[in-house]
Structure 1
């Protein structure tokens, strides 16, 4: 690759794009960015944090793609008719996928990669925190903010350190195949973006790019064989490789996440005892079963769950802690809803005896040329005959009205779930203020 000195990041407010932009700045590149939320004047905290981090923001109209820009960086979500891509092509400026830039930044480093259908961000954050607490000064590039690293100035999805890197490797667009890590973990595999056969092929191809050890869910990997766990009030306890661990995070899935993180860190010399000590102070990942509001014994929890496996894990974790559990979910795209409709139906139907009410928001519409022939009502129509109490709403105010009509009482838990929509965290924090 041609030496990069200056890059422009299209869609820089996205959590993955803001991470690679901050990492590029940390590696000495000059970085600018654009985002449609900036164009609309929406005051997202991430935009101010990026400014403070030295990233100049521009309208997404092509005006930032000028001579001197060595590459325009995009994600798979950016459409081909985006003005900045058109300007880059006209000017002969290379267009790089974010994973290509991240692979370039990590080249020559001791890189640990975290892949898998579920749990990537949590395992990446846990591993980064373990390595930091062990004194190894890692550089961490994550797909979600780590609560321990969040501040007014920092999103929390990047920690710049030395040449030991931990990165989240996404399989949804096969971009994980751009990385060549020293060691890696594949947390689990399920039919999320592809069917199971293709999912396995993608992860097997990824394993071939790992120069050292790949642990986790692939054939022949048994790093969790001795895992024994129990759920306790407010968290989890488990024993791994003979060492007792305590987590402040609930859920069997977080026990597996922690064990994967400890196993990955062991590959670079961290003892299980060091991992156990570090994880006692790990506060979690933004929007991963994150408690965001409590009043009069009623709680609201915010979660990124957007596929059947993640929704099932979130619901199963919260059910024991709720007198009544109200689940609010927003599909993150028309294509994903269509491909996951059977799995979503099964997930909500299986748990219908525990979930008091399901509230479905409209499909999040990011624009573009999507096939909009499916809707949240399509899922509701499947769930009602199965005995699931489900409402569909048009917008956030209708969510609040539904909650008001439910007359919530002490012990009830509201679980807000979904991806992509930047307004969901605000909804979670405010949905009971008028309920």
Structure 2
């Protein structure tokens, strides 16, 4: 199959962060794009503003007529989150349309370019956006498909300049292990940030997660390079040149790490020397480590050391990744997408290091019943870093409730000074009463919808 045979591109689940990036690529490249999503969002509004027809009711008749009337010229791209019982999915399948997962189509696109794939159970969105930003800042012709909205560009998709030789174009791809999607990629360069147990609703056991990552690194093309977090057990599964990185050790690492004016400043050590005084306005020990990995990739692609330093110095992060919502002398509010115990621990540890003299209040919204069940003790341990913990109800996302699985599984083992469970309606009143000076919101659900009211409370107190 080639993309040349299609004129119309229809998305089932167009509003997802990854799907919307693909939709933009097709829209920019002259295809007619339309789609369905369950609910409107800022992303779907942006796509509609770019001319795409989107509907939010499960209704075959709302698929635009030119799409329905031309199955041979219509490619349907769907997300695994769309159930097989979905009326439009059933119709499109029965009518003989070509249906492909986003990952399959992304593999087709990326295969035309020099691919840098960033994988890992956490850290991949920030690392991939850092790589893309360094390349764009340094004038390298690149495309990027990212899992979050970059603050530097206001988008999750960067379009490359037209080129007669696509192999000279670098394609930065966030390689998602969910549903084994990243196995459609055959990159020249790859980064693996972590292989912790996650998505056990899909994989069943950690061993299956590790097996999937092993398969991914085996697909790095001959002569390629794997940049691997030190300590991961992947080297024996790839023929690529393996380079290790970490916060404080490995072929690439940081040194002289210090906190200055609520920012992390460090030197990036690599085989050929040092990139001194890299300053991250997006703080966090984990983000320093991500920056080390991104710098390593950029060096391999020939980006000069000074260009890397300057790019990282003005990298402004990804929305909902250590994002400052309010920062004054009296009150700080930070939002983060963390939804795995290791991510929560990295985030809260970094906040504590930045503000050692303030008591930290954390609001956490668990994401998925299965993840809460599988990692309840880990979440409790990570959240206990905070002085005060407010726990919201579980955000179900794609799942139905599991009997006996509630936020209380986490709360009962939290060791903070105070801990409390509440719902979103109760949250503003609870926060107003607590009067926190350092407040963080954590989770991959819809907790970010509470940020305007929480910011207003902190500003008023």
Structure 2 length-normalised TM: 0.84
Equivalent in 258, 261, 267 of residue 231 of structure 1: 258
- What is the RMSD computed on CA atoms of the aligned residues? 2.0
Pairing of 1:204-353 with structure 2 (within 5 A): 204-211=214-221, 212-217=224-229, 218-219=234-235, 220-224=242-246, 225=250, 226-229=252-255, 230-232=257-259, 233-240=261-268, 241=270, 242-244=274-276, 245-294=278-327, 297-322=330-355, 323-349=358-384, 351=385
Shift of 1:235: 1.6
Which 5+ residue runs of structure 2 have no aligned equivalent? Answer: 162-168, 236-241
Q: Distance in 2 between matches of 1:387 and 1:329?
A: 13
2:238 corresponds in structure 1 to none
Aligned residue-pair number = 413
Decide whether aligned partners of structure 1 residues 359 and 56 sit closer, same or farther in structure 2, where only a CA change above 3 A counts: same
Pairing of 1:36-435 with structure 2 (within 5 A): 36-38=38-40, 44-59=41-56, 60-62=58-60, 63-64=62-63, 66-68=68-70, 70-150=74-154, 156-162=155-161, 163-194=169-200, 195-211=205-221, 212-217=224-229, 218-219=234-235, 220-224=242-246, 225=250, 226-229=252-255, 230-232=257-259, 233-240=261-268, 241=270, 242-244=274-276, 245-294=278-327, 297-322=330-355, 323-349=358-384, 351=385, 355-366=386-397, 369-383=400-414, 386=415, 389-395=418-424, 397-408=425-436, 412-421=437-446, 424-434=447-457
Shift of 1:109: 0.9
State the SS of the aligned residue for 2:27: helix
State the SS of the aligned residue for 1:36: coil
Q: 2:150–2:319: 8 Å Cα contact kept in structure 1?
A: yes
Q: 2:362–2:441: 8 Å Cα contact kept in structure 1?
A: yes
Residue-by-residue CA offset, 1:248-280 (whole Å, 9 max, x unaligned): 121111111111111112222112322112111
Decide whether aligned partners of structure 1 residues 202 and 221 sit closer, same or farther in structure 2, where only a CA change above 3 A counts: farther
Residue-by-residue CA offset, 1:145-202 (whole Å, 9 max, x unaligned): 110001xxxxx10010143210100112211001111211111221222544333221
State the SS of the aligned residue for 1:249: coil
Q: Distance in 1 between matches of 2:194 and 2:440?
A: 24
Q: Which stretch shows the higher mean deviation, 236-245 or 128-137?
A: 236-245
Q: Distance in 2 between matches of 1:178 and 1:11?
A: 19
Structure 1 length-normalised TM: 0.89
Q: Distance in 1 between matches of 2:322 and 2:399?
A: 31
Instruction: Please list every run of at least 4 consecutive aligned residues from structure 1 whose deviation after the TM superposition is greater than 4 angstroms.
Output: 367-370
State the SS of the aligned residue for 2:432: helix
